[in-house]
Amino acid sequence: MKSYVTATAALFCIAAPAFAADTASGDPAAGEKAFKQCKSCHMVQDADGNAIVKGGKTGPNLFGVVGRTAGTEDFKYSKDMVAAGEGGLAWDEASFVTYVQDPTAYLREVTGNDKARSKMTFKARKEEDAVNIWAYLASVGPES
């Protein structure tokens, strides 16, 4: 049964990026406000170097995160995040929202490694904030 669930999840991760930008269910304006808690570590900067949101460099640039394979942005990710990406994890609303609420637990579930760790220590307190942040990032991404 676990293999079936894993295979279904992997298929969803592969197919979801094509629909991710169209399915953001949150409020981008509320997400912009909620993103203020993220910018101490993350920036949103387009491919030409134009800052959409000036922020920290402790975490990866979140421009174009919608549909991106996990662990592939020009950033030094944990080996577990890279493994998740190599295993097929591409960011969609569901995976992002779950991840930002408990990054280490999410990576442990996705990789099947009970010792997996995320470099991200912050946890979004409210699911609504995570959904809205996703909608905001989708709205300022390259396809917006």
> In the CATH hierarchy, which top-level class contains the domain 2-139?
mainly alpha
Return the pLDDT at 140: 94
Domain ranges of the chain: 2-139
Return the pLDDT at 24: 76
> CB pairs under 8 A, 24+ apart, for 40-47?
41/120, 41/122, 44/137, 44/140, 46/142, 47/142
- The one-digit pLDDT tens for each residue of the chain (144 residues) are 444 444 444 444 444 444 444 457 899 999 999 999 999 999 999 999 999 999 999 999 999 999 999 999 889 999 999 999 999 999 999 999 999 999 999 999 999 999 999 999 999 999 999 999 999 999 999 965
Question: What does the alpha-carbon distance between residue 64 and residue 91 come to, in Å, rounded to a whole number?
Answer: 10
